[in-house]
A and B are shown apart, each in its own frame.
Chain A
Amino acid sequence: MSTPPTIYSHLTQVMLNYYPDTDIRVRENPVTVVAQLLNSIANPMELQNMQIQRELRALNLSDVPMNIDNGGVYYGALVPLSFNLPYDAQGNLLPPTTIKGQIVGGPLVTLTAYDDTLPVPTRIYQDSSIPAVALSNPQLINVTGDGVTPFNLSPGVLPLPNAILFTVHGMGSVTTAFSISITGYLNPPAVWPQDISTRNEVLVISDDGFYQTDSVWYSISSISVTGLPAGCQLIGYVLGVQLPAEQDIDRPFTHPAYRGITFPRYWQLDDVTLKEVYKRNRFAGYETYQTYLLTSTMVDCAVEPNTNGMFLADGTNLIYADRRTPMPANLIETGHTSEPPYTINVWYDYNKPGDTKYAYISPIAMAQASTVTQWRYIIEDPNGVLYVLLPSGILQQYSGTGGWSDGYPTPVAFPLTVIGTWLISLETLGTNNVKAADTFPFGNFEAQIKTTVSLASVVPAIQGIAFDAYDKLWAWTGQFAIPLKISYDAYVWDPSTRTIYATDDYSSVTIS
């Protein structure tokens, strides 16, 4: 028997939206039996989608995935025939149980299987093959339009070659477009005069959002902005550090109320909370989908391209996390055989932002709603402690008879003080005191941190992190941008040749 996925795929909602919009519970509840079944299909679909995205990117020379497959270089160690390798139940040759690599001049480290959908770093240091660059201001341009005045500037040679990222905010009710015309030399620059030719790229923009040039620029002789609407702010970044939000391009957000429409997904930092947000349109702003508790206050984050990971920086450390949504635990409630008078929907309470996350419980009247005479909310925290939730939002010690209110259920919010899955139930008493209940497992998640690597010996203090157009991770100190090189201390196993392909160069590999 296979185990259910521990990740709630972003594609599950796409499939749930095939149900009619009158079926609110199936559409909106991420942990119904239907949702769980579809999620088991959505997870492998998401993996396929990632591979397709990578293939599509490989069609564009400036967007070829570079940060996966260990940069295409491995270090092979042939397992001698005298070493007895284990087999699995299907007769496939398995790698040695333990594989260790001797770092030259360093310790002996245990290698793990390399997973390029979530490559967890073990060591991060300055990449000596690329010079650090002086960069006191990552913004090339920061202007607010008046609807008339064009903007022109000539940045010249860029501090580092990169695609230019633009953020547009404040288009308001304007329905016309404005344009950004960029002229310059592409990277890598040609050397011979007869090979040197200027390129031009024009972005025509008609909405708030993030826009990036297709070209990777070495130098820019001119950026011309025409028609920028009044009050609209345009910022262009040579390195996307400290952005108002971090794009998650590969995982568009699907809203239960909008079948077949996807919205851009973003990440934002709020003290010790990592917020997964989306934007339905320029007027709605960023709306929170999920929040995750962090171990400390972070200064910046960067979505890792082509993988499921993301990097966070707290000033000294780089933190690597899985950015996919976890499935709530404790999915123990069986399905209903008859429809309860009321069901509940639970979501993050946007009205109570801050370090403590609040859950908002919304009762949904079903066909037999009018039969309800009394009701109460029962809460089970992640440690299994039971509470009665009063309509005032106060948690009271559980008792079998406590907390009942007359009439019909009302919405209520309460603080989630423990990390994990909270089981939230609405119990109702109907005609002849028939009891019915609906339970909603709601995850109060923490960030799925896979590793924390100190960069104290590399940079004095990190103020920002970002990937460039070549999928290279940079740390920004406020004055300099430092290119980073990542080691994984991992291996890929090739059973057909009995070879261990290590991601890093070791003086020896020890197997047992």
Chain B
Amino acid sequence: MAPTTITTITQTNSTTYADEVGVLIGLSRLPGETSEAYIKRLNNATRIDTSQDYVGLLNELTLQLGLTIGNVISLASVSGNPLQVDIALNGITLTDTITLATQTVPVVLVDIDDAWTWYMLSDVVGTINAGTVATATLLVADGPTIRISRQSNLLTVIAQPISGQNVNVGYTNVIPGSELFNVPVSSYTPNYATGTFVFSSPVPTGTQITYKRLVWPYNIIGGDVSLYSLLDPAVGQMAQGPAGTMVYQIQEAVEAIMQQDQSYWAT
């Protein structure tokens, strides 16, 4: 038979052993995704938080859509002291935890048309390096700061079980005075920097400790996906343009919500 040439060629996934695991984990393979990439996603799914909070939602989005989140800017402290890093719509706030020197770097500009214009990551790095609190290094290709997620390196650990007399909570840089216990405990000598508490007698069975800790050193996290909602604490500050009107992006969001849920329309 005469040769026949087929030019319509379609990429297809086959069912592999990785897909068997995917069924158990509840994560399906993306079109064209290799077993290698898929297994990486499945591995992530078993370890990261996918609950309903901000980080959990971002994690779930990256898992389901095959997107990436990672470190985008590394930070170092000019003084050598740990820095508290808080990032929201209103900017990146860097605070030296000892000297209390602070620098706030905006991530978004409300332009003359009442629309948000995102700075570039390199702009943010440049601004930080021009200050006196921290130095920054860009770890990824340049892009708009919308890629930076909302975040803070001040974390709260809730109800961690502890036992014994010499307790190491497993984290360094516990915030002094932030610790709370669910039951009365004996007097103790804390070493907040190392996260250890030496009690005068063993803590009662079932004791739990709640405390704040600072993650340091810290890299700013961002990636392919970012989330901002009307519940963001900084929306109130950033939603208003120079002329006092609502910024364009918020208008769009509100309108979309109203279209979805007609109960918002006043009668």
Contacts and interface: CB of A to CB of B under 8 A. Distances in A.
Interface of A: 54-55, 57-58, 61-62, 64-66, 68-80, 82-84, 129, 186-188, 190-195, 197, 470, 472, 492, 500-502, 505-512
B8 interface: yes
- Kindly list the 10 A-B residue pairs having the minimum CB-CB distance in the complex, ordered from nearest: A58-B17, A512-B3, A72-B16, A193-B215, A71-B34, A77-B6, A72-B35, A195-B48, A509-B6, A508-B7
A78 B6 contact: yes
Contacts of A70: 14
Nearest to A196: B215
Which size bracket describes the interface of B in this complex?
A: 35 or more
Nearest to A58: B17
A509 B16 contact: no
Contacts of A72: 13-16, 18-19, 29, 33-35, 38
B46 interface: yes
Contacts of B38: 72
A509 B5 contact: yes
Interface in B88-110: none
Interface of B: 1-21, 29, 32-36, 38-40, 42-44, 46-49, 55, 59, 69-71, 151, 153, 155, 215, 218, 221
Nearest to B53: A194
Is the contact region of chain B dominated by helix, strand, or loop, or is it mixed? mixed
Instruction: Provide the main secondary structure of the chain A interface.
Output: mixed
Given A61-B43, A190-B48, A194-B55, A74 B155 contact: no
A191 B148 CA distance: 13
A54 B35 CA distance: 14
A27 B42 CA distance: 47
A305 to B, nearest CB: 12
A164 B123 CA distance: 42
B42 A61 contact: yes
A302 B3 CA distance: 40
A214 to B, nearest CB: 13
A75 B9 contact: yes
Given A75-B12, A508-B6, 7 more contacts: A65-B17, A73-B14, A83-B1, A195-B49, A501-B12, A509-B6, A510-B6
Nearest to A472: B36
Contacts of A195: 47-49, 55, 59
Contacts of B40: 188
Contacts of A187: 43
A222 B59 CA distance: 29
Contacts of B2: 512
Contacts of A188: 40, 43-44
Nearest to B7: A508
A79 B43 contact: no
B58 to A, nearest CB: 8
Given A58-B17, A64-B39, A76-B10, A193 B153 contact: yes
Contacts of B15: 72
Contacts of B153: 193
Name the residue in A57, A190, A191 with the highest tally of chain B Cβ atoms < 10 Å from its Cβ: A191
